[in-house]
Amino acid sequence: MTEALKALTEEQLNQFHTEGYLIVKGLFSEEDLRAIEDTFEAIGNTVVPGFFEPDLDGGSDDPLKRYPRVMHPHRFNETAKRYMLHGPVLDVLHDLYGEEALAAQSMFYYKPPGSRGQALHQDNFYLKVEPGNCIAAWTAVDAASMDNGGLLVVPKTSEYEISCPELADSAESFTTHYVKPPKDQKAIPAVMDKGDVLFFNGNLIHGSYRNKTKDQFRRAFICHYANASATHISNYYRPLYRADGTQVDLEINTDGGPCGIEFDKAYPH
């Protein structure tokens, strides 16, 4: 790890372990952010079968048809892979895990004006990292607020058991799963400046509301990681990658989770 970013403070570590999430500034330079923006602006005007399949004709009233999320861009784009393995992010993850982090997934959300949000959910329902947990690194490529559909987190739910989801409101969520927060907890906005990175553990309940603006995208580059001591993960997230880009192939987790085996399908988070 680099000496400069070895030092998440005790206060930061305590917040992550107590609240389940942590916002860290300064992990991406302006040049880094420009490279990410330029890469996904170019991808946004293409079709990559199986990873990004927009309606380039724009014939739908749903803005997410034109700008769906990009799934696993690290599998077809070297810039996405490079930033999935971004050293300063991996340094923070090492502090949070207390060991090396393995990269499992990358995504890019455009979240154009007017687009639906994503109902509250838990990441490790999908990744099924065992033993241990996944951690997300959610990078704000645009400033994220309540108006443009920034992320919502439910504090202190990082130790909450993985739950079988209910059906989400399809008018407000582009995904079908919804996890109801505990009665004594409410979702709060994670307000972020451009370039901020939000880290949260795989049990934390989180989601987002609709982008209510008429002219603001809320772009985000999101990656998920597993602890190096994990032995199992869902098939969809294999192979994983070490910091140097070498592949690691964990065992497939065939546990159906809280919903049972029949419910279990390769559901790309």
* pLDDT at residue 7 in the model: 64
Q: Is the pLDDT of residue 28 over 50?
A: yes
Residue 43: what residue type?
I
Q: Is the pLDDT of residue 266 over 70?
A: no
Domain assignment present for 230: yes
Residue 83's H or E segment, with its range, is helix 78-84
Domain assignment present for 170: yes
- Span of 33-47, 174-188, 231-245, 254-268 with lowest mean pLDDT: 254-268
Distance CA 160, CA 172 (A): 24
Q: How many domains does the chain have?
A: 1
**Tens digit of pLDDT for each residue in 187-223?**
999 999 999 999 999 999 999 999 999 999 999 999 9
Domain assignment present for 4: no
What CA dihedral angle connects 13, 152, 109 and 220, to 10 degrees? -40
* pLDDT at residue 169 in the model: 95
The pair of three-digit structure tokens given for residue 86, joined into one six-digit string: 């971004």
Question: Who wins on pLDDT, 60 or 69?
Answer: 69
Match 């709060």 to its residue by tokens: 188
* pLDDT at residue 268 in the model: 54
Domain assignment present for 5: no
* DSSP annotation of 151: E
Sheet holding 118-121, edge to edge: 118-121, 206-208, 151-153, 188-189
What percentage of the chain exceeds 90 in pLDDT? Answer: 90
* pLDDT at residue 60 in the model: 84
Residue 152's H or E segment, with its range, is strand 151-153
> pTM surpassing 0.75?
yes
* pLDDT at residue 260 in the model: 82
The model's confidence at residue 4, banded by pLDDT at 50, 70 and 90, is very low
The model's confidence at residue 6, banded by pLDDT at 50, 70 and 90, is low
* DSSP annotation of 240: E
Q: What is the domain range of residue 40?
A: 10-55+62-261
Q: What is the mean pLDDT of the chain?
A: 94
What distances in angstroms separate CA 217 from CA 137, 141, 143, one per listed residue? Answer: 19, 10, 9
Domain assignment present for 1: no
pLDDT mean over 149-154: 98
Contacts of 144 (CB under 8 A, 6+ apart): 150, 151, 190, 191, 192, 196, 218, 220
DSSP string, 127-142: H--BSS-EEEEEEESS
The pair of three-digit structure tokens given for residue 171, joined into one six-digit string: 């008018």
* pLDDT at residue 238 in the model: 97
Domain assignment present for 98: yes
Domain assignment present for 267: no
Domain assignment present for 109: yes
* pLDDT at residue 264 in the model: 54
pLDDT mean over 26-40: 98
Distance CA 231, CA 249 (A): 9
What distances in angstroms separate CA 70 from CA 43, 202, 268, one per listed residue? Answer: 9, 20, 11
Which of 85, 150, 73, 153 has its CA nearest to residue 121? 153
Q: What is the CATH number of the domain that holds 220?
A: 2.60.120.620
